[in-house]
Structure 1
Amino acid sequence: MEPTAETVLNYLKEQNRPYSVTDIFNNLHKAIGKTVLQRDLDSLVGSGEVVGKTYGKQRIYYVSQEGEIVPPEEDVAAIDREIEALREEIASKAQHVKELRTQLDTLKSNMSLDHCRREIERFTELNKKLKSKIEIMEPREGFEIDRAELASLTRRRDILSKELKKRKKICEDALSIVLENCPLNKTELADEIGLEVEPS
């Protein structure tokens, strides 16, 4: 086999797709003249290593697929099953992403991250004030307290604590959804928007 013919054959094997003479000539950067290239292609077609077909006024060439090893049917079936499983997994993940986007849109419409931050700060401050009041009213020697008021403050503190936890959960859920498509980690994103979160 001529060196130029070997170059052409190797190129067609690497690309594994049909080309016209002009395509091959240009893709090989005109390293082989068109006359020699045509001669090599005719030779390769004659040897059965390359197939040449005419479509209209154009003739294309591609590597012959004859002689290739055909995998057993059970292997093909296994690959088909794997492909189908991957398709189902992709569809499932796509649906999950769609649901997350819907949740994110809902959270955005109901409560922004900035609003979450302000609410958490407000409830945290209220909680601190209530704790201070309760500490002041704790029984001490020679000090009488209003039990009803203490009980009321304690209940209010518990309610606010629960609400604070609820708001924090909403905010962290929103953060988790945003983090799906965000290059920052949870702590970095929280710092970026000025939000305090529990350490992971």
Structure 2
Amino acid sequence: MSKSKDANAAKAVVEYLNRQNRPYSAIDIFNNLHKEYGKTAIVKVCESLSQSGQIKEKVYGKQKVYVADQGQFPDVDDGEIRDMDARISKLSAQCKEKDEEVRRLDAEFKGLNSSISTEDAMLQLKQLTEECEACNRKLNTLKDGGKTVSPEEKDRIYEARKKYVKEWRKRKRISNDILGAILEGYPKTKKQLYEEIGIETDEDYQLSPPDI
């Protein structure tokens, strides 16, 4: 690396450490400077700056960290530190309030995005109104002795009902067999098993398959 590049890297390291005023390893500095300078160059610059006294080097075992020379900063008395701590606490509380407000607004935004638009709501209202009117017309016709269900239609409805009731009972039996097999090795009660896996039974809703 050229001398001008070295000088620029040294200046960048000193300015960064002074601005942050906290210890960093050479690799941290390399990464935090967005890898603008080579890793080897940053390591070399840090060692050179520490030797010249422009920054301080601290060694912890095999780890080296670098920090700004504290002698260049004015002394801070206990009162200033307490004021800073109070300000930090105040800003932290404000940050927490803002975070909560952001979460609330984000939830509100998601709710609005998932809500139906006014145009779609009006269209659905029109469709449902037309369906209600059609049902009312059909109801009035039936009340007035108009067209009723034909014998063929009635038989078809009963056959469909029989089919669905049989399927209901079949699935209920299969489910009970599976749950019974699970309960043989389950250490808790049936109720606890149902709650754990989120099963709702017919009995919970006071239902049972009707007679065919």
TM-score bracket, normalised by the shorter chain, equals 0.3 to 0.5
TM-score by length of 1: 0.37
TM-score by length of 2: 0.35
More contact order relative to length (CA 8 Å, sep ≥ 6): 1
